[in-house]
């Protein structure tokens, strides 16, 4: 017997979403919204893609059709003043983070903002104050918190499996900048981006450091720009001056006494998306690598079985692992885009159920604290001195 489905049935309380941006990471965000029902089932909060905003009229039309938005606009004030939009997802370049988010908060919208929060700590602080004043939910898209392996790392640390933490070291490296003919981009303009790899890649590993190990006490950094000029895309034969850093290295001291290193660079041939960390505690070690995000290497000092101690390659795809019961049978890996599905699900659930975004999700407060550390890294690289994080 054939039955017809009323699609509206059962989904009375959709959450209207407005997205600023449609390319790059915005596409990953948009995809995240479309998977919530399918992955998490009917109990999950159901997002509704209300409106998308961007600069190019032509691309906007296509993006709206391709991803299923009901409306589109090239004026972001349209987006944040739309009554059907409850959540603003800000995937604009860094220079549009603060203005849009602050205005969106004034309009009472919940906000998911791409990282880094602001271009610096001062800008980030104003954003934090705006959302706090407005009483809206706020999250920074530090999506790597939502990798099952990273979440498992946090669970193991919080459960004391690693004991007292002695070391954290992280690198986020790729080879995207190594070719000197790679064209100039907005991330190379300090005015637009605030900083280079510090804000782009470094902010991710700073956030993971805080998420997993705790607050920073001090940093000491070096930064450099290997290729000072790059060809301009718009003007054939001309080159633009790179005003942000290509790479940085840093030592870091945590409030709990652990020490470590941080590094980000686009000049590491063969490294494609090498966001890696290693944490050592008195009882064990954890290693993660985003290029193999379905795995976590875990060493637990088991003196009862000394002959078989070793780093365990844990496939984090078991139903017992964070988020994995929603996915496929064990051993069937997920991809990079799935981290956004987890993140967005968390955010929408917090909105729907009135729960706190933190400490699991990164709030604007986390985004601000991260910005303080980014500023300190750049200041230390300038002053050649260790900078305390207050």
Tell me which residues in 201-220 interact with its own copies (CB under 8 A): 218, 220
According to the binding rule CB under 8 A, does residue 182 interact with its own copies? no
CB of 155: closest distance to its own copies in angstroms?
8
> Rounded CA gap, 220 and 375, in Å?
11
Q: Considering only residues 169, 204, 210, 349, which one is a binding residue for its own copies as defined by CB under 8 A? A: 169
Among 102, 212, 247, 376, binds its own copies (CB under 8 A): 247
What is the distance between the alpha carbons of residues 126 and 17, in angstroms, rounded to a whole number?
24
Letters for 18-37 (x = contact with its own copies by CB under 8 A, - = none) are: ----------x-xx--x--x
Sole binder of its own copies in the list 133, 238, 241, 332 (CB under 8 A): 332
Cβ-based nearer residue to its own copies, 14 or 315 = 315
Using the rule CB under 8 A, is 107 a contact of its own copies?
Answer: no
Rounded to a whole number of angstroms, the distance between the first and last alpha carbons of the chain is: 68
Helix (H, G, I), strand (E, B) or coil at 104: helix
Q: What contacts 24+ positions apart, CB below 8 Å, involve 126-129?
A: 126/98, 126/102, 127/97, 127/98, 127/101, 127/102, 127/364, 127/367, 127/368, 128/364, 128/365, 128/367, 128/368
Q: Does 285 bind its own copies (CB under 8 A)?
A: yes
From candidates 235, 291, 355, 356, binder to its own copies by CB under 8 A: 291
Is beta strand 387-388 parallel, antiparallel or unpaired with respect to 216-224? antiparallel
Scanning 101-109, 122-130, 187-195, 324-332 for contacts with its own copies by CB under 8 A, the matching segment is 324-332
Query: Which residue among 135, 237, 335, 354 contacts its own copies (CB under 8 A)?
Result: 335
Q: Between residues 3 and 236, which has the closer beta carbon with respect to its own copies?
A: 3
Residue 178 contacts its own copies per CB under 8 A: yes
The only residue of 106, 214, 253, 389 in contact with its own copies, by rule CB under 8 A: 253
Interaction between residue 13 and its own copies (CB under 8 A): no
Residue ranges in 344-363 that form contacts with its own copies under rule CB under 8 A: none
Question: Could you tell me the smallest distance in angstroms from the CB atom of residue 269 to its own copies?
Answer: 5
- Rounded Cα distance, 52 and 30, in Å: 10
Site for its own copies contains 289 (CB under 8 A): no
DSSP class per residue in 17-31? EEEE--STHHHHHHH
Choose between 99 and 253: whose C-beta lies nearer to its own copies.
253
Q: Is 69 in the site for its own copies (CB under 8 A)?
A: yes
Q: How far is the CB of 72 from its own copies (least distance, A)?
A: 5
Between the alpha carbon of residue 295 and those of residues 173, 205, 290, 354, the distances in Å are 19, 18, 9, 33
DSSP reduced 3-state for 195: coil
> What is the rounded CA–CA span in Å between residue 325 and residue 146?
14
237 scored as a contact of its own copies (CB under 8 A): no
Alpha-carbon distance of 385 to 198, in angstroms, equals 18
Binding segment (CB under 8 A) for its own copies, from list 57-65, 128-136, 194-202, 357-365: 57-65
- Binding of residue 304 to its own copies (CB under 8 A): no
Query: Angle CA(371)–CA(31)–CA(321) in degrees, nearest 5?
Result: 75
Residue written as token pair 């997802």: 89
CB nearer its own copies, residue 138 or residue 171: 171
Q: Does 280 bind its own copies (CB under 8 A)?
A: yes
Short-list 96, 91, 113, CA closest to 22: 91
């Amino acid at each position: 017997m054939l039955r017809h489905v009323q699609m509206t049935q059962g989904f009375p309380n959709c959450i209207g979403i407005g997205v600023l941006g449609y390319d790059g990471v915005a596409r990953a965000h948009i995809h995240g919204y479309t998977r919530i029902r399918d992955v998490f089932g009917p109990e999950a909060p159901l997002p509704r893609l209300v409106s998308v905003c961007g600069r190019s009229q032509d691309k906007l039309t296509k993006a709206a059709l391709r991803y299923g938005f009901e409306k589109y606009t090239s004026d972001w004030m349209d987006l944040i003043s739309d009554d059907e939009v409850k959540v603003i997802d800000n995937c604009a370049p860094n220079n549009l983070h603060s203005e849009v988010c602050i205005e969106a908060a004034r309009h009472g919208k919940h906000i998911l903002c791409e990282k880094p929060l602001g271009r610096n700590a001062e800008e980030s602080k104003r954003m934090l104050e705006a959302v706090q004043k407005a009483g809206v939910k706020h999250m920074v898209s530090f999506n790597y918190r939502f990798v099952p392996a990273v979440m498992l790392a946090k669970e193991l640390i919080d459960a004391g499996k690693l004991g007292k933490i002695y070391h954290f070291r992280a690198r986020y490296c790729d080879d995207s900048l190594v070719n000197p003919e790679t064209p100039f981009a907005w991330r190379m303009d300090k005015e637009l981006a605030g900083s280079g790899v510090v804000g782009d890649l470094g902010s991710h590993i700073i956030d993971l450091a805080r998420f997993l190990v705790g607050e920073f006490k001090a940093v000491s950094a070096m930064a450099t720009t290997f290729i000072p000029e790059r060809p301009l895309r718009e003007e054939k034969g001309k080159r633009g001056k790179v005003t942000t850093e290509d790479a940085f290295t840093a030592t870091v001291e945590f409030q709990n006494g652990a020490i470590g290193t941080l590094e980000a660079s686009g000049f590491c041939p063969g490294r494609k998306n090498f966001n890696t960390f290693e944490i050592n505690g008195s009882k064990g070690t954890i290693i993660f690598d985003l290029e193999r995000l379905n795995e976590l290497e875990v060493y637990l000092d088991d003196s009862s079985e000394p002959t078989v101690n070793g780093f365990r390659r844990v496939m984090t795809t078991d139903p017992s692992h964070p988020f994995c019961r929603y996915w496929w049978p064990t051993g069937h890996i997920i991809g990079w885009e799935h981290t956004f599905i987890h993140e967005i699900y968390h955010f929408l659930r917090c909105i729907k159920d009135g729960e706190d975004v933190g400490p699991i999700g990164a709030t604007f407060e986390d985004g601000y604290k991260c910005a303080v550390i980014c500023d300190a890294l750049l200041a230390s690289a300038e002053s050649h001195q260790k900078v305390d994080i207050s």
